[in-house]
Structures are given as structure tokens and as C-alpha cells.
Chain A
Amino acid sequence: MVHAVQIEMLRQMLLIREFERALGARKDHGFQLLSAGEEAVAVGLCSALRQGDQLLTGGRSIGPALARGADPNRVMAELLGRATGTNRGKGGRGHLADQGSGFFGAHAVVGGNISIAGGVALATQMLNRDNIVVIMFGDGAFGAGALHETLNMSASMRLPLLFVCNNNQLSVSTPRTAALAPKLLSDIGRPFGMPSRTVDGMDLDTVVMAAHEAADYVRSKQGPAFLECISYRFSSHSTTARETRSAEELCSIRALCPIDKKMGEMMAAGLIDADTKIAIVESAKAVVRGALEFADASPFPDVREALTDVI
């Protein structure tokens, strides 16, 4: 990978981490759905997407939205309920959408966006767009019937749809092992004839390579593909949900930090030095400070917005 590209991806992961850290400290607009630990999945996946491609996700969507290129100012404004937000403050957590950056949108019903993405892929195919559609969902959505139906329909229609299961191994508090029978979740793509892989979602380079391979396949109009990225969520389900894991377990999970890993690798390879590292961290923090300032300076929606864009 080109040096500048690696630095940019490192910067994106840091931006997501710092953005969520700052947002999580704000208790004035309800709970938030954070994704610390899962940054490599979002950034690695989006590195394989092009302009005009569409990304749909479940509710845990801050990382994917930022990695896709949504404006941090407007994302922060949305999550703090401001009229300048991506969705004019009306979607909020779990429903981010930003058409300008190819982030078709998050949808907070678990599994609810999967068949929607099938429809977006159908439109992409029928309108002869040379783009692909990606549906990212968690292991929580893996047990939903919509996945089976959409795997089947998209395979039989040979749709340009990439299934990405970001398997963070927890559905709120329920471990994936208690809820899902298959050993490898990606095995579900095989009977539908899809190239299907499971990769380490904590390693950026691995996700980048797997995402490019899967996206290239889908882009070649051969039909859908399935990619499972095994990741770890560092914090509880939401900023107001109880943490159910022990301190020891959390400690060992956090040792797998994809940002620390990538940074260490780049330093060991001499691709960045201590000064560059500080500069990247500081620039991410500056963007986040700017986003908070933008959001705080923005008005809440007028109450009349409760009745606009309804029908």
C-alpha cells in the first residue's frame, strides 16, 4: 500500500476513535451507539469503495459514515440533534444518512436494512450504474430471516451486493456463541454460490485486502459476495447500557486495538516517526473539536419540523 494511503487510513481510524470519545462524553442528547475497537472494519471496508457506491449499515454507524467521507461537522450535529446535521437533526443515532458521500444510510432496526440494500442493489443493476452496494450488519442481525431472504434473492438476481458481517460477537449482552449456531458465519454465503470469507477485523491491512477482493468480485457483475470481519467492541452496547464483561476480559480485548496495532507496524517499518504520530493524533482531535464547535453553534430544529417531510 502507498505510504500516504496508509497514513490516511490511520488518520480515519483515529478520527472515529476521537469523535466517539468526544461524543460519548456528551450526556445532553441521550445515548449513543459507539464502535471503538471496530474502526479497522469501517475504514478497511470503505477503502474498497468508490464514488457512487452505496453503503448501508445497521445502527452502529458513526465509524462507517465517517470512513465513507461524511462531514464530521454534520455527523456530530446530527448526533446532537442540530438542524445542520446530515439528516437535519431528524434521524439521529442509528439513522445517519448522507447521500453526498455515498452513505445511503443506517437503519436502527436490527437486520432491517438488509432487504432494503437488496432493493438498492436491484436499482443499481437495473439503472445500469457501474457501482456496488454494501450492506454492513452485525452478528445480531445474522439470526434474522431477512438475511436468508436477501442472500437468496440477490444471488438469484446476481445483484451487485456485498454482504459484510461485522461480527463483534455481542448482541447487546448476548454472546454470539449463545445465539448463532454456525461456527463460521461466512459459511452462510456458500450455498448461494457467493465467494465467502472470514477475516480478522482487528487488522486493518487484512480487512483492506479482503474488502478489495470482495468488492472487485461484486464490481465484476458476477453477483454478491459475503465477508465476515471478526471484531471486538471495546465498550458496552450503548453509552447508557451496562457493561457485562469483566475488567480482565475488557483489558485483553483492548490489547487488540486496531489503531495501536497499525501505528506500531508503521513505526516499526519506519513509515512514521513519533512526531508524525503526534501530528496525526492532534489533527484528528482538532477535527473533532471543530465538529463539536460546529454542532454547539448550530440551532436545534424548529418545532414545526416535527410535521415536515412526513408525507
Chain B
Amino acid sequence: MSSDTSPPVEKIFFREAIARAAREEMRKTPEIIILGQDVGYFGGSYREFDGLFEEFGATRVRDTPVAEASMVGFGVGAAAAGLRPLVCITYMDFLMLGFDPLINYGAKLRFKTGGQLTAPVIVKTTAGAKGQGVAHSQCIEAWLMGVPGLKVVAPATPADAYGLLKAAFRETGPVVYVDHKRLFPIAGPVPLAETIVPIGKAAVRRAGTDLTITSHSFMVRTALEAAKMLEGEGIDAEVIDLRSLAPLDMATISESVRKTGAILTLEEGQVTAGVGAEVVSRVMETIGAVPFSRIGALPAPVSSNPILEAACLPSTGRVVQAAMALQRKKARGVNHVVAETIE
């Protein structure tokens, strides 16, 4: 018998983790259906539904026309009437078309009907830049964080892609599940045993003492790379993977910042009214003022031109520089924003 007490794992790609969670759930729950563009024979635009069409057939894994507004509406309505749909929106940019049924109907349904109806729908959508330009690259998850009745998750690892999707299928209301184009081909360990990652719990990915970096989705990887480089500068960064954006795990975040005394938020979306803005505000409401810095995409559209795309997105170097500036402010006891400049 091995002395290693950690549970046995398999190493699979992020996209495979999604398919595995969906497959396990669909085997148990006949009410689960998948609606989306190219989810059937094609296996999903990112192959994240590989094998499901073959196993469950065209009735449960349904290709739809290119009609995001009604795809979400059908999903929400079917959920309210007894199914457990997962609606796949290939690009998060196009979820804007589905905001009306999602936000005006799905998120309000339980409240407005006095508890008669709920809409347990999962809207799975893909954020992030990968050379596809201004209308296929956006990360707009922050727009959804303030919608009462919605939960929003954004996994960064295959294990969480699996465990959070499993959790989403157990919710009684709508969940927006945000994955990321650059995460699909990344592999990582996923427990062989059925595992559920609870919504609303952040994960400390790297323990540290000097500052807290919060992030989610692909940018967690950037945060971890930056933390490693900061070691060389004598800075010990703690990295928190938010995993759940609504609700936020303020207990874990606040505890970390109380320990480190500074917070840097990192996201691929816009800084203005972004995830980091909310995290920093809530940290300060909880523990008082601390030095902070927010990093995100530049306030510009994300071009498909690789030079301009790379310039727009947060990089490890920018995070390292901002973290070092933040440390200097912290050492001087200055509690205000560290202005970030692009070099």
C-alpha cells in the first residue's frame, strides 16, 4: 500500500474534464440535455463535449441554429418546466444576446413567482483571447456578478472544470459557467473518484506572506508564474484562485489579505468595474484599507493582430512590476492605488 494518502487521479485535458463531468451527470440524470451550436457530432467547438453525442444521441445533445438569445431562452424555459439544460454559448461575447432571458427571466424567476418556479439552467460559455479579435475575445464575467439570482463560476484547472460543473448541475437556480479558450488544451490531475467542488469556495494555489494575488480562470496561471518570478525578488506572494465569482469567498480572501497586508487583483477582462474592483472593495469593507493594485486588459478592444492582442492582455511581466511597486508602497505605508503603466 502506498504511503501517499492523496486520492488517485487521472491526468486529462481541461476540455476532457468538462466532458467527463457532463457524461457522469447525464448518465445519472435523464433530464440533463445540452443545447448549443456544434455540440453534437462535432463534439463542441473546443471538443469539450467529445463522445456525448455518440453516447446520448441527438435528442439530448442538440445542435441549435445560431440564435443565442433563444438558445438561452429555451434553456431557461425548459429548466423552469422540469429539464436540466446546459446551454453552450461558444463565445462569451455572444452571451450578450442571451442576457434578456438569462437576467430578466431566469435570474428573477424564483423571486417573481414567489417560489413557484426556478430555472436550474447552466449557461456554459467561453471567454478569453486567442487570436479571434474584438468580438470573440472578451471576458465579461464581471458584468454578471451583480445580478441577484445568478451564480458565476470560472475554473482554472481541469479538476475544477470537472468539480464545478458537477456542482453546477446540483444547483436549483441558474449558473453561468465561464471557461476559457486557452485552458482547453491544458492537462492536469483530476480525481478518479467522483468529486464535487462547492460553488463559493476559493482555493489558495500558493501560500505566501508578502502580498495576496487574486485571480480566476486562465489568469491564475499568469499569477502563479508571476509569483515564481517574484521569489527571485525576495517577494513571497500568496495566489488565490477565486473559482467562484458569485458568490465570492470573502472569508478566504480577507484572511489572506489580513496576513499579507496587500492585494493585487488580476483578470483578463476590464479593470473598470471589474472583478478586482469588487474584490478590493469588499476586502477593504471587511478589514480596512490596504495597499492594492488592479491588473486587467488595457481599456481597448482586443485585436486579432497578435502584436496588439499581446499588448492588450495582462502579462507576467506586468504583474511582477505591479507587485514590486505594491511592495514598495506597502513598505512606505502608502494605502492607495498603484498606477500601472505599460512599458
Measuring CB to CB, which residues of chain A are less than 8 angstroms from any residue of chain B?
54, 85-91, 95, 97-99, 104-105, 107, 109, 112-124, 126-127, 145-146, 149-150, 152-153, 156, 308-311
Contact = CB atoms under 8 A, between A and B. Distances in A.
Contact of A97 (B33, B113, B149): B113
Given A311-B151, A311-B173, 13 more contacts: A87-B116, A107-B105, A109-B104, A118-B70, A119-B81, A120-B80, A122-B78, A123-B81, A150-B74, A153-B64, A153-B74, A311-B148, A311-B149
A146 B73 contact: yes
28 contacts: A85-B114, A88-B114, A89-B114, A90-B111, A90-B112, A90-B113, A97-B112, A97-B117, A99-B117, A107-B104, A113-B105, A114-B70, A114-B73, A115-B72, A116-B101, A117-B77, A118-B73, A119-B81, A119-B83, A119-B85, A120-B80, A121-B77, A122-B81, A123-B83, A146-B73, A310-B110, A310-B148, A311-B149
Contact of B67 (A85, A109, A124, A149): A149
B113 A123 contact: no
A115 B74 contact: yes
Nearest to B77: A119
A90 to B, nearest CB: 5
A109 B113 contact: no
A118 B72 CA distance: 11
Contacts of B148: 310-311
Given A112-B101, A127-B83, A119 B73 contact: yes
Contact of B78 (A95, A104, A123, A308): A123
Contacts of B77: 115-123
A142 B310 CA distance: 44
Interface of B: 31, 33, 59, 64-65, 67, 69-70, 72-83, 85, 100-101, 104-105, 110-117, 148-151, 173
B113 A91 contact: yes
B113 A105 contact: yes
B115 A309 contact: yes
B202 to A, nearest CB: 19
B69 A146 contact: yes
A309 B114 contact: yes
Given A54-B81, A105-B117, A311-B149, A153 B70 contact: yes
Given A86-B114, A119-B80, A109 B73 contact: no
Nearest to A127: B82
Contacts of A97: 112-113, 116-117
A54 B76 CA distance: 16
A120 B81 contact: yes
B104 A112 contact: yes
Contact of A91 (B85, B114, B151): B114
Contacts of B78: 119-120, 122-123, 126
B117 A150 contact: no
- In the complex, which of the residues B33, B80, B81, B117 has the most CB atoms of chain A within 10 Å of its own CB atom? B81
A90 B114 contact: yes
Contacts of A153: 64-65, 67, 70, 74
A86 to B, nearest CB: 7
B114 A87 contact: yes
B113 to A, nearest CB: 4
The 3 A-B residue pairs whose C-beta atoms are closest, nearest first, are A119-B77, A115-B73, A88-B114
Nearest to B115: A309
Contacts of A119: 73-81, 83, 85
A150 B115 contact: no
Contacts of A88: 114-115
Contacts of A150: 70, 73-74
Given A122-B78, A153-B67, A310 B105 contact: no
A124 B80 CA distance: 11
A156 B35 CA distance: 14
Nearest to A149: B70
A95 B59 CA distance: 32
Contact of B76 (A104, A116, A308): A116
